[in-house]
């Protein structure tokens, strides 16, 4: 009985938090509609309160805990990434978010192309680039929240508007990650409407039901792209404007089988691996907490890559190119492919492990040319 009462109180608190944050978060809808996700010039400057770390992360965690904080946030970024600038300006630029972050976490920046040596929270020694690759920081900014024990509490890949970012910090700081997934937490904070408030955005290329997506028995001719959306979704409306109307994007989409699902609905789906689920059950299984989320599957039903954060024109185009060109077959790491695509095939220096787990970088390159993988 006591547990039920606690759940009810927490749910009520979450709903109030979400509503208040969404109503008064300093968010600018015009900014999101007009957001240009091309590389930014000049390079991004970190806030002065980001920690000046030696990248010995176990020590950073110990120092944060000794200062009364809950842990650290490792920020994987690039110096010319428009989404990283959005995180710094639109999220950390909110006074309450800055204050809450500084009170509860130390933020430690990692350059995803960097060659500086890092001691990870689990004691491994590697370069910044190796660390970013290991954690699949495909879309910058990526953030990992580590708790006082050095355990990963949450990872966010990409940029999220302030209300979602606040919720993520609350989710970790208050320890809800120990009891439930971030999707479950956000579902309590922002339940779907009980009555239909607006129709889903329609496109001619969306397949009609029934959604028999099984590819586990017979290989399909084209990759599959699933749009997980929801009703009354402003971010979904933005996706269906400029990003999906970009001519190059429309051409790329012709190479996919494409399905749109309401991630909170009970519509039946046979998933790419042959399971019979509802759209909501599938979204629960995939732990989806952001709408819209786009997930690509290959011809045999294996997940290739997903975008579950804000994605505008160029990030979406790059995401689709990675799949259509089948680059993932030979270069499964999206971030390495983007580096090669942007910088004319110039390779990062090879990394060789030495005894003791240290690394040796041959022909070291301090910085990649100006640009961003986004």
Domain boundaries, the chain: 2-189, 211-339
Rg of the chain on CA atoms, in Å: 21
* pLDDT on residue 347: 52
Mark the ranges of the chain whose per-residue pLDDT is less than 70: 1-28, 191-198, 342-374
Give strand pairing partners of 271: none
Nearest alpha-carbon partner for 6 in 155, 180, 172: 180
CATH class of 2-189: alpha beta
Residues of the chain above pLDDT 90, percent: 72
Domain 211-339 architecture = 3-Layer(aba) Sandwich (3.40)
Q: Which residues of 309-330 are buried (b: 16+ CB within 10 A; e: fewer)?
A: bbbbbbbbbbbbbbbbeebbee
How many angstroms separate the CA atoms of 182 and 166, rounded?
Answer: 12
How many angstroms separate the CA atoms of 22 and 296, rounded?
Answer: 30
* pLDDT on residue 33: 74
86 and 44 in contact (C-beta within 8 Å)?
no
Fold match, 2-189 / 211-339: yes
């Amino acid at each position: 009985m006591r547990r039920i009462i606690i759940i009810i109180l927490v749910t009520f608190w979450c709903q109030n938090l979400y509503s208040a944050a969404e109503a008064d978060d300093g968010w600018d809808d015009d900014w999101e509609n007009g957001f240009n996700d091309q590389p930014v010039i000049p390079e991004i400057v970190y806030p002065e309160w980001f920690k000046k770390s030696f990248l010995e992360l176990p020590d950073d965690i110990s120092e944060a805990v000794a200062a009364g904080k809950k842990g650290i946030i490792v920020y994987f970024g690039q110096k010319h990434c428009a989404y990283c600038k959005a995180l710094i300006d639109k999220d950390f630029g909110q006074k309450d978010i800055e204050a809450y972050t500084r009170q509860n976490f130390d933020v430690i920046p990692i350059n995803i192309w960097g060659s500086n040596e890092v001691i990870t929270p689990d004691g491994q020694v590697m370069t910044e680039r190796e660390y970013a690759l290991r954690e699949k920081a495909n879309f910058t900014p990526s953030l990992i929240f580590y708790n006082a024990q050095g355990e990963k509490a949450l990872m966010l890949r990409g940029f999220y508007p302030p209300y979602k970012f606040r919720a993520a910090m609350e989710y970790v700081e208050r320890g809800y990650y120990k009891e439930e997934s971030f999707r479950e937490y956000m579902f309590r904070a922002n339940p779907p409407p009980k009555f239909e408030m607006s129709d889903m955005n329609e496109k001619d290329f969306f397949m009609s039901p029934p959604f028999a997506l099984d590819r586990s028995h017979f290989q399909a001719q084209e990759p599959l792209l699933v749009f997980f959306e929801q009703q009354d979704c402003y971010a979904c409306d933005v996706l269906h404007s400029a990003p999906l109307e970009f001519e190059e994007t429309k051409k790329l989409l012709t190479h996919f089988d494409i399905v749109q699902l309401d991630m909170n609905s009970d519509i039946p789906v046979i998933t790419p691996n042959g399971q019979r689920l509802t759209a909501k059950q599938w979204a629960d299984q995939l732990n989806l907490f952001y709408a819209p989320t786009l997930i690509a599957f290959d011809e045999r039903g294996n997940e290739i890559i997903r975008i579950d954060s804000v994605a505008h024109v160029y990030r979406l185009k790059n995401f689709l190119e990675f799949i259509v060109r089948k680059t993932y077959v030979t270069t499964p790491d999206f971030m390495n492919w983007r580096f090669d695509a942007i910088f004319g095939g110039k390779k990062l220096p090879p990394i060789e492990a030495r005894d003791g787990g240290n690394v040796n970088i041959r022909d070291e390159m301090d910085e990649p040319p100006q640009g961003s993988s986004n």
